[in-house]
Chain A
Amino acid sequence: MMDTTPYPTTLRVLEVGHTPRTALCGYLLAGVGASVSKLVAAGAEPESDPDRAEWARAESLYLDHGKSVRTVPAGAAAGTAELDGVDVVLAGSETHLNDLLGTDAAGLRAAHPRLIVALATLFGRSGEYASYAGGDLLALALGGLLSMIGERDREPLRLGGHQAENVAGLALFTGVMTGLFARQTSGSGALVETSAVRAVAYLDWKSQIYYADRGVVLQRGSDSGPLVLECADGYVGFYYRDEEWSQVKALVGDPRLEQERFATQLGRDKHREELAAILNEFSRQLTRSELYHRSQARHIPAGPVLGMAELASDRQMVAREFFGTRDVDGVPITVARLPWTVDGVRGGQP
């Protein structure tokens, strides 16, 4: 195997406290060869809700893998001795920095000029929202993405998992790399800062630019083009476009699709419900896998809706060795690995 990790022993990352966003960033940094230590406060109240406790355990198993996790007494700041040799500090709030290191972001920057201080809050450090209570759902709302998901005549809908946290983690990862790149030439560290709200708004940039262009307000909802079709064993995202329509007709083989009202995309969108009824009549006779492969054979972009327990046995995932198995208390647990390969080599768990 080629040496693809530039900092296996030299890039050191200190993750201060736990948030999903900083945990993801630390996980990705570990994935590119960084040595990641994580400080968490001891004595925190155990999660009382069993569902949340299970989720938190799963999250820790997934994102803390490969990190050196250490608990320190609550309120007893470990101090900046923790920072010896550290290149990057990750934190989800200044409270974590103060509680666990006894200093804030500005203090760290001043005392350690070569340090990359990477801060990802939920709602920002200043302004009205800084002190707000809440989590992922609220960050999706304030960042604009929540308004774009769901159906037009129903309430806005969150994405599964905690995607506001995740996009903040991704932004922080790229921010850290930007700081490290700049440090190569300047010799100086940096304060890199984002929030879940900011990262979400960055992600929903298309809504912004269509509105800025000429006041077009993009509305949530599947109101044109692609359809979600029902199969015998679940659902398939059927992403046909105008250029695939002839192939859709050939695939389905229903003479009703030749009707004038379905001849153009405009017509198909106008008669969307009738079209969906015909297509569903066809798709319900097939399994997801059958519809997927038959569609793809005609170059129609389609994909089966796969559940969390189905992903690991998917043939593409198996061929790509994307999942691994770890032993947790004597029980084999399925874990996702890093979503990239470097020179053909897959990194990350188990």
Chain B
Amino acid sequence: MNGQRPHGPLAGLTVVDLGTITAGGRTSQFLADFGATVIKVEGPRRPDPFRHWSGVTGEAGAGDLASPPFRVVGRNKESVAIDLKTPEGIAVMRRLVEEADLVVENFRRGVMEKLGLGFDTLSSWNPRISLLSISSQGADGPERDYVSFGGTLEALGGMMAVTGYGPAEPTWTTSKVNYPDQAVSLLAPGLALWSVLVARRRGRGVHIDLAQRETVVALLGELVTLASLTGTAPVAAGNLAPGETGLCLPARGSDEWVAVSLTEEAQWRSLAAAAGRPELTADERFATPAARRAHHAELARELAGWSRQHDKMDLMRTLQRAGVPAAAVLRAWEVEREQESRGDPLHVPVPTFDGEPETQVSWPFTIDGDAQPAIYRRAPRVGEDTVKVLRRLGLEQDRLDQLLHVGVIADCTPPVQKRSSE
């Protein structure tokens, strides 16, 4: 595993990864999964905070591989520990950049320039380098330095205004999901690859400034246009959508649900019949699509007596057979099982420090051909590959020893806890 060079679709791409936590880390993880050589640069004394993340469960665990989400975003990468606040560290960084195609970063704005790693500098070292900068609000503007997390970007980007049980209950996805980070992590790898294609074509790279807040708005772009066209701004309306009566009906068990989406009259009649409640179709409260949307809570209550008696998978299948769009509301582990059983596996085993593999979500799409995404190695410890990578760049052993001695670079930092559960 370790030392094996990638042969995926992105083989030949070299990335210097200054990405941290999700937005930067998961972007470069995608590139690594698909075969790029991704060199993660961390401070010897200030590694990626995702290695010690308590933001989801309140527990950080101990050791630099204790954090489950870090073990995902760190996979397939090499870790090089460099103190970028020293001139010697910047000189080492220069060696990395000279041999790379792309730098990915999501520091707070201004940090790259403060470190002496602005795009102009990177370009002067390597004109073909591209820089992908991911930030909350972009590289400029009066609020570029404001602190943000995914949740605040959902507010600032309009998502919370259209997500909620009603207009007075704006709802965010919380740190358990952090939608802006995840959406950006799907878009950013594509932009990164485009920037490298640009550089290879014209001989000089580009600087992409990708703003997470703007990405959220872009994913609501049709609603912005709709508000402008009609003069009425869409607001949160539970599971309703324009022209659609969306319902979540309780199923048998605790917190089990089936989602139903009605867009046609025939679907409504079929739902009422399947529920053994054909009389509801004659009820004035539910007589038209608009009436059903206006009384959706009452409609859900009327149907709950029936739906609670059934397993969510049975409800889904029964309703689909009757021509009613319906789907069981699955949890993550159920998705894994379902995808597997349908012959469309979405998960892969990934080695861990103690050698016992764990299951992780694999890739967002499949691609045919011989060159395939793969798991090459587990997430690295801080500086685990420092010496190997810098030797590969041609640094002499004497120089490495010297840099190690003065703390400009570092190799593994013992001790490590193998798994957060231990």
Contacts and interface: CB of A to CB of B under 8 A. Distances in A.
B117 interface: no
A198 B364 contact: yes
Interface string B330-358: 11111110110111101100000000001
Interface in B38-63: 55-58
A320 to B, nearest CB: 5
Contact of B198 (A6, A176, A299): A6
Contacts of A146: 248, 257, 259, 329
Given A52-B244, A156-B329, A167 B183 contact: yes
B214 A320 contact: yes
Contact of A202 (B171, B210, B361): B361
Interface in A14-58: 28, 32, 47, 49-55, 57-58
B374 interface: no
A328 interface: yes
Given A138-B325, A303-B148, A181 B193 contact: yes
A159 B220 CA distance: 10
Given A174-B189, A184-B197, A319 B141 contact: yes
Interface stretch (B76-84, B90-98, B157-165): B157-165
A178 B335 contact: no
A184 B211 CA distance: 29
A158 B246 contact: yes
Interface residues of B, number: 152
A156 B197 contact: no
Contacts of B148: 239, 301, 303
B335 A201 contact: yes
A249 to B, nearest CB: 18
A270 B341 CA distance: 41
A216 B57 contact: yes
Interface string B308-325: 000000000000100111
Contacts, number: 504
A255 interface: no
Nearest to A325: B228
Residue of A299, A303, A334 ringed by the most chain B CB atoms within 10 A: A303
Contacts of A133: 320, 323-325
A106 to B, nearest CB: 10
A142 B366 contact: no
B176 interface: yes
Interface size class of A (residues with CB under 8 A): 35 or more
Contacts of A180: 193, 197
Nearest to B57: A216
* B contact patch SS: mixed
Interface in A166-208: 166-167, 170-182, 184-186, 188, 190-194, 198-199, 201-208
Contacts of B158: 160, 306-308, 311
B71 to A, nearest CB: 7
A336 interface: yes
A150 B165 contact: yes
A209 B68 contact: yes
A213 B420 contact: yes
B328 A141 contact: yes
Contacts of B244: 52, 135, 137
B13 interface: yes
B364 A303 contact: no
A1 interface: no
A271 to B, nearest CB: 16
Given A134-B261, A186-B369, A336 B221 contact: yes
Given A206-B69, A218-B56, A126 B343 contact: yes
Contacts of B162: 160-161, 308
Contact of A137 (B11, B189, B261, B342): B261
A311 B224 contact: yes
B280 interface: no
A170 B187 contact: yes
Nearest to A24: B219
B86 interface: no
Interface string B161-178: 111110000111111111
A202 B363 contact: yes
A235 B170 contact: yes
Given A63-B221, A142-B327, A305-B161, A190 B369 contact: yes
Interface stretch (B230-238, B387-395, B400-408, B409-417): B230-238
A239 B173 contact: no
A45 to B, nearest CB: 11
B289 interface: yes
Contact of B146 (A167, A192, A235, A296): A296
20 contacts: A6-B194, A58-B225, A132-B320, A132-B325, A133-B323, A137-B261, A142-B335, A148-B173, A167-B183, A182-B371, A184-B197, A186-B369, A201-B361, A209-B72, A226-B151, A299-B147, A300-B147, A303-B153, A308-B158, A341-B208
Q: List the 9 closest pairs (A to B, CB-CB), nearest first.
A: A160-B162, A52-B243, A127-B342, A303-B152, A134-B325, A174-B190, A339-B214, A237-B155, A207-B332
Given A202-B362, A320-B141, 8 more contacts: A128-B342, A160-B163, A205-B360, A237-B155, A301-B151, A308-B224, A316-B144, A322-B211
